Amino acid sequence: MDAAPVVLTIAGSDPSGGAGIQADLKTFATLGAFGAAVVTALTAQNTCGVRGIEAVSPAFVVQQLEAVLDDLDVCAIKTGMLGRVAVVEAVASRLATVRPVPIVVDPVLVATAGQPLSDSDAVATIRRRLLPLAALVTPNLAEAEALTGRPVSTPAEMHDAARVLVDAGARAVLVKGGHLPDAALDVLYDGATFHELVAPRVPGTFHGSGCTLSAAIAVELARGVTLHAAVSRAKRYVTDVLAHSPARGRGARPLDNRARG
């Protein structure tokens, strides 16, 4: 009997395959999960940047979500690019009814090349509506700054930001320090204990690493692994993939889930 857990991603589409639902589904498959996907937006992007975004209506996002949840035994959910306030509201309203399925919120706000992927008003809505549903929120430094309204550029500030986001309703927070100047330090806070996870920095600029990390965490949580173990395993997985992914395209290097040591 197939014991692969069903993991659902709710995110935007990247036609170049480096980020978004494409990155999520590849991660799910590589780690032995059965992936399902609800598309929130179509993007025209590649490794060099985002050229355009075509939003999916909130009603159709919910229709996709209902179709999946009515039929599949979903064991974990991750959200990525939601884009518009109305989509965040619609997704949050439906996800509020599916707990205790673990939900990983990756608050995708800006593309690797710097283009905005969400409305400016969406930040407050993510904080108000999605954070209280999250088993884990996974902001990078810039996203942590946007969600907390304070600078986040040092390990101490990462700790402070994690506290603020747990106080805002998240059960746990992983502040990702991939843009710190030294080692790749992430700070995990579960409301009681801090854990610092350090990995060697892989040189280069990458596309889709945040999507891949949150997707890998969701797979581990779907298997019933503890939060700290899920984050630790996912970080090791992403570090391995980063180190062995060949360059593709002319911009940031996309992750190749097959390329592991």
pLDDT at residue 114 in the model: 58
CB atoms within 10 A of CB 228: 14
pLDDT at residue 200 in the model: 83
Tell me the pLDDT of the chain (261 aa) as tens digits: 468 999 999 999 999 999 999 999 999 999 999 999 999 999 999 999 889 999 999 999 999 999 999 999 999 999 999 989 999 999 999 999 987 899 999 998 876 655 666 677 889 999 999 999 999 999 999 999 999 999 999 999 999 999 999 999 999 999 998 767 677 799 999 999 999 999 888 888 888 899 999 999 999 999 999 999 999 999 999 999 988 888 888 988 888 888 675
d(CA 106, CA 77) in angstroms, rounded, equals: 11
The total number of structural domains that make up the chain: 1
CATH number of the domain where residue 24 is located: 3.40.1190.20
Residue 190, domain member (yes or no): yes
Residue 219, domain member (yes or no): yes
pLDDT at residue 136 in the model: 98
Residue 61, domain member (yes or no): yes
Q: What is the 3-state secondary structure (H, E, C) of the chain?
A: CCCCCEEEEEEEECCCCCCHHHHHHHHHHHCCCEEEEEEEEEEEEECCEEEEEEECCHHHHHHHHHHHHHHCCEEEEEECCCCCHHHHHHHHHHHCCCCCCCEEECCCCECCCCCECCCCCHHHHHHHHHHHHCCEECCEHHHHHHHHCCCCCCHHHHHHHHHHHHHCCCCCEEEEECCCCCCEEEEEECCCCEEEEEECCCCCCEECHHHHHHHHHHHHHHCCCCHHHHHHHHHHHHHHHHHHCCCCCCCCEECCCCCCC
Residue 139, domain member (yes or no): yes
Q: Which tokens sit at 249?
A: 């395209």
Residue 260, domain member (yes or no): no
Quote the domain boundaries for residue 131.
6-254
Residue 1, domain member (yes or no): no
pLDDT at residue 178 in the model: 74
Residue 186, domain member (yes or no): yes
